[in-house]
């Protein structure tokens, strides 16, 4: 019987390590340092060498339980220096293999790249639709899944894995996702193709403040899904500034095959919008300062906050009596006011003080409508 390694590795870290190996396979494989960096990205701490060896072993056993009996990865021994399990040995080679190339050990994926038995469009829609039902076990996995599905949509061949390294910084999903992503699927596919090929886009956009239909030419930088809506981050050539476009307001979209551009060096939607509560308070070029928002949530509603993540930074602490203290680390917190108003008396802002005052002022203005 196969003796699985200790479950000390977090699922998010395992997924990121596997994706890193698959991404780097085409170029010779991932180095040990790249795997450590993948772990740091998800766990925000430095892993030991042994942790990475165990992660590789765990992944091989998940991919194929007959990968290798109890023969450990090189360097994976117990505290006494004994190899972890020597009573069995299977001759089936693991799918993740280590090779020495130019003096460095590189890890590559030797199996066939997975081919989905579900239509890629259906898989994408199912994943996005299920986002609203995410619970603690699923939180953190969806972004990796959605990125992988986008790669599948863009190119069903193995070359799609090479594209993953190019587009992974251009999709950001936070909070619960779109209820009906099918409406925007064609736009999403065309936008991702334009991002991949660095091509400009021509679109007709419905301006929200006056209802005018405007013609724009833009350079697409990335996509954001936030609170049931998709947004396109792009540089508007008309305004010569970065702008946010709601996909629902894009009435016509065409990729300009002859119009190319260069991505801004070092740009990542995760860096700019990763901490943002919404999208409108960010200028699209650099992140805003992050601050702590602390809320008291009444009994009953507290359970909902344990099941649904409204922001990646959400932390929930249960209080005596069934209430909860919910903490966020966000930028652009002024965009939280309409959301806070929607909860009525079930939520109290504890900090920051300016947000308490802003919420109170908005509530007074709403009350005047009914005075």
The 10s digit of each residue's pLDDT in 254-268 is 999 888 888 787 777
Asked if 41 and 48 touch (Cβ cutoff 8 Å), the reply is no
The 10s digit of each residue's pLDDT in 148-183 is 555 554 444 344 344 444 555 666 666 555 445 556
In a domain, 114, yes or no: no
Q: How confident is the model at residue 10 (pLDDT cuts 50, 70, 90)?
A: low
Asked if 358 and 334 touch (Cβ cutoff 8 Å), the reply is yes
pLDDT score of 292? 96
In a domain, 188, yes or no: yes
Q: What gap in Å lies between CA 98 and CA 217, rounded to an integer?
A: 47
Residue 215: partners with Cβ closer than 8 Å, 6 or more residues away: 202, 203, 204, 205
Number of domain units in the chain: 3
Q: What are phi and psi of 235, to 5 degrees?
A: -95, 120
Question: Do 150 and 127 fall into the same domain?
Answer: yes
In a domain, 6, yes or no: no
In a domain, 152, yes or no: yes
Question: Do 105 and 145 fall into the same domain?
Answer: no
Q: What gap in Å lies between CA 326 and CA 340, rounded to an integer?
A: 12
The 10s digit of each residue's pLDDT in 34-82 is 999 888 877 778 888 999 998 888 888 777 766 665 545 455 454 444 4
Q: How confident is the model at residue 288 (pLDDT cuts 50, 70, 90)?
A: confident
Question: Do 336 and 226 fall into the same domain?
Answer: no
Question: Do 258 and 124 fall into the same domain?
Answer: yes
Picking from 273, 304, 324, the residue at the C-terminal end of a domain is 273
Q: What gap in Å lies between CA 234 and CA 214, rounded to an integer?
A: 15
In a domain, 115, yes or no: no
Q: Averaged over 202-223, what is the pLDDT?
A: 88
Question: Do 332 and 258 fall into the same domain?
Answer: no
CA Rg value for the chain:
24
pLDDT score of 151? 52
pLDDT score of 309? 80
Q: What gap in Å lies between CA 267 and CA 265, rounded to an integer?
A: 6
Question: Do 103 and 126 fall into the same domain?
Answer: no
Tokens 């069903």 appear where?
156
CATH at residue 316: 3.30.70
- pLDDT exceeds cutoff 70 at 125: no
Picking from 56, 74, 109, the residue at the C-terminal end of a domain is 109
Question: Do 316 and 337 fall into the same domain?
Answer: yes
In a domain, 256, yes or no: yes
Exposed / middle / buried, residue 125 (Cβ in 10 Å: 0-12, 13-18, 19+): middle
In a domain, 72, yes or no: yes
Q: Averaged over 91-108, what is the pLDDT?
A: 81
For the chain, what percent of residues have pLDDT higher than 90? 24
Which whole-number Å values give the CA distances from 265 to 114, 169, 219, 343, in the listed order? 32, 12, 14, 41
Question: Do 243 and 132 fall into the same domain?
Answer: yes
Residue 358: partners with Cβ closer than 8 Å, 6 or more residues away: 334, 337
Picking from 109, 139, 156, the residue at the C-terminal end of a domain is 109
Question: Do 100 and 125 fall into the same domain?
Answer: no
Q: What are phi and psi of 316, to 5 degrees?
A: -120, 125
Question: Do 247 and 352 fall into the same domain?
Answer: no
Short-list 223, 226, 206, 224, CA closest to 215: 206
pLDDT score of 65? 67
Q: What gap in Å lies between CA 130 and CA 132, rounded to an integer?
A: 5
Q: How confident is the model at residue 358 (pLDDT cuts 50, 70, 90)?
A: very high
Q: Domain range for residue 311? A: 291-368
The strand pairing partners of 104, in sequence order, are 101
Q: What gap in Å lies between CA 316 and CA 305, rounded to an integer?
A: 7
In a domain, 86, yes or no: yes
Question: Do 308 and 219 fall into the same domain?
Answer: no
The 10s digit of each residue's pLDDT in 301-356 is 888 888 778 888 899 999 998 999 999 999 989 999 999 999 989 999 999 999 99
Exposed / middle / buried, residue 166 (Cβ in 10 Å: 0-12, 13-18, 19+): middle
Question: Do 88 and 156 fall into the same domain?
Answer: no
Assigned token pair, 50: 């042994």
């Amino acid at each position: 019987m196969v003796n699985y390694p200790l479950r000390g590795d977090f699922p998010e870290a395992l997924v990121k390590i596997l994706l890193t190996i698959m991404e780097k396979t085409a170029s010779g494989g991932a180095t040990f340092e790249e795997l450590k960096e993948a772990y740091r990205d998800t766990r925000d701490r430095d892993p030991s060498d042994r942790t990475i060896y165990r992660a590789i072993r765990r992944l091989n056993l998940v991919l194929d339980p007959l990968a290798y009996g109890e023969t450990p990865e090189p360097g994976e021994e117990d505290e006494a220096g004994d190899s972890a399990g020597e009573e069995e040995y299977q001759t089936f080679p693991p799918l993740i293999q280590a090779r020495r190339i130019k003096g460095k050990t590189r890890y590559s994926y030797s199996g066939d790249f997975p081919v989905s038995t579900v239509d890629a469009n259906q898989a994408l829609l199912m994943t996005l639709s299920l986002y609203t039902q995410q619970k603690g076990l699923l939180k953190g996995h969806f972004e990796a899944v959605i990125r992988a599905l986008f790669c599948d949509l863009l190119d069903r061949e193995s070359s799609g894995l090479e594209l993953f390294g190019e587009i992974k910084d251009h999709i950001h999903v936070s909070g619960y996702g779109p209820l009906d992503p099918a409406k925007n699927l064609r736009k999403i596919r065309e936008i991702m193709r334009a991002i991949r090929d660095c091509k400009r886009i021509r679109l007709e956009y419905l301006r929200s403040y006056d209802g005018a239909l405007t013609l724009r030419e833009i350079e697409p930088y990335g996509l954001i899904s936030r609170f049931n809506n998709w947004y396109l981050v792009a540089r508007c050539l008309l305004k010569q500034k970065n702008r946010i476009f709601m996909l629902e307001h894009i009435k016509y979209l065409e990729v300009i095959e002859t119009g190319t551009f260069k991505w801004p060096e070092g740009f990542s939607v995760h860096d700019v919008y990763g901490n943002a509560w919404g999208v409108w308070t960010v200028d699209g070029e650099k992140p805003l300062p992050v601050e702590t928002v602390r809320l008291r949530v009444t009994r009953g509603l507290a359970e909902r906050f344990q099941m649904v993540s409204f922001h990646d930074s959400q932390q929930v602490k249960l209080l005596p009596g069934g209430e909860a203290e919910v903490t966020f680390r966000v930028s652009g917190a002024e965009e939280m006011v309409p959301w806070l108003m929607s909860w009525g008396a079930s939520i109290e802002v504890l900090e920051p003080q300016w947000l308490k005052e802003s919420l109170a002022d908005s509530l007074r203005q709403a009350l005047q409508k009914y005075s």
